[in-house]
Structure 1
């Protein structure tokens, strides 16, 4: 993907609107004040989804849902499942295997890094946009209770992959990220009190990010 070495995918969360659930209704109200489930996806360069998790209510931040996922635990372990880098926005945690942008770039290399990072990461936004345009229910809402809404969402993303492999044309305007309103999170709600281990992992991620900046940009 672009100029990044060993990028295996881009991660993002997307909100799928649902009707007000019968139980724990307040948990499903997201920051834009509508009921939703927060679906985490990772896509590859071909705009296919290589990982997806749909189980969290709309009030849960992207970073928290990722931190609680089996994939996160696998990458944090001693034997990561894949050798490569995932790109995420500034709401995610920095790791040796998860690259986030520089918040306040001060050098040309850092600016170039951020530009390449953003240009590459839009792949996941475009992938979500195409899927939502292809399946009207993902864009306009599911009149289902959360468990079924989660299952339908994942099936739609799987069918999107099938359509991509069959080279079916995308819906009109679906390749433009701005045509779909995405509901990202403002940050990681789990980092207000970082543990020593968390700080160590973040520092290691910064070291890898600095090396990539110096060697590639």
Structure 2
């Protein structure tokens, strides 16, 4: 694992400008959603009851876990992974505390383009969530294309857990070691994708329902408003 962890930046990293453009084309062809280079979701990896800070690892389904963030592209290649947060952390918090979020919030962002997430994530100019209450056919079409595109990350997580079944059952180690195992499995998953190995049938995932993210301060409200404007523009222009 030490050797694999050292190699992480070679295998898990944001796309180059050329790679992002290729992914935008792939997502657009698949479901008609423009400008997307990746999708984000969280998944819980069950762990043994920790000896330290046990209570923070208990998730909403009342078992101990790590809340693992995965961002993947249309080819199921993982471009960002965060596997250090306890199961009680919400998806939005895991994202906000990640380097990927910081890189996308800066100007210019580390990657030009859109990421799709469910309603548990904050709406941003670069992070599109679905309309909560669509009011017309354009917003409904936006939500349909969003759902068909975002299923990519669900499939990626299912394939990852099928390849490395320990991520689907239970890691019987302390959280710090479990985190390193998750990172190692993600790297090996990417290696398999790059080698063109046939992906196994993804495991059906029973994930926790998303808790809608709400702006927490004036600065975040402004960024959410800007995200709403972008979302509305996409719905009206492309759907």
Q: TM-score, normalised by structure 2?
A: 0.85
Residue of structure 2 equivalent to 1:44: 73
Q: Cα offset for 1:184?
A: 4.8
Cα distance between partner residues in 2 of 1:4 and 1:120: 7
SS of the equivalent of 1:51 reads strand
Given candidates 87, 94, 97, the residue that maps to 2:126 is 97
Q: CA, structure 1 residues 78+170, in 2 after alignment: closer, same or farther (shift >3 Å)?
A: closer
Q: Cα offset for 1:181?
A: 2.1
Cα root mean square deviation, aligned: 1.2
Q: Cα offset for 1:180?
A: 2.4
SS of the equivalent of 1:59 reads coil
Cα distance between partner residues in 2 of 1:139 and 1:122: 19
SS of the equivalent of 1:42 reads strand
SS of the equivalent of 1:140 reads coil
Asked if the contact 1:61/1:187 (under 8 Å) is kept, the reply is no
SS of the equivalent of 2:219 reads helix
Residue of structure 2 equivalent to 1:78: 107
Residue of structure 2 equivalent to 1:200: 222
Residue of structure 1 equivalent to 2:210: 185
Residue of structure 2 equivalent to 1:146: 175
Residue of structure 1 equivalent to 2:166: 137
Greater fraction of residues in helix: 2
Cα distance between partner residues in 1 of 2:155 and 2:187: 16
Which runs of 5 or more structure 1 residues have no equivalent in the other structure?
none
Residue 212 of structure 1 pairs with residue 237 of structure 2: no
C-alpha offsets along residues 58-105 of structure 1, whole Å, 9 cap, x if unaligned?
Answer: 000000110111221222222210100000000000100000000011
Q: Cα offset for 1:5?
A: 1.7
Report how many residues are paired: 210
Q: Structure with the greater relative contact order (CA < 8 A, sep ≥ 6): 1 or 2? A: 1
Cα distance between partner residues in 2 of 1:45 and 1:170: 14
Cα distance between partner residues in 1 of 2:177 and 2:212: 28
Cα distance between partner residues in 1 of 2:168 and 2:222: 40
Asked if the contact 1:96/1:204 (under 8 Å) is kept, the reply is yes
Cα distance between partner residues in 2 of 1:152 and 1:109: 43
Residue 106 of structure 1 pairs with residue 131 of structure 2: no
Residue of structure 2 equivalent to 1:165: 194
SS of the equivalent of 2:32 reads coil
Cα distance between partner residues in 2 of 1:145 and 1:183: 23
Which runs of 5 or more structure 2 residues have no equivalent in the other structure?
1-26
Asked if the contact 1:87/1:117 (under 8 Å) is kept, the reply is yes
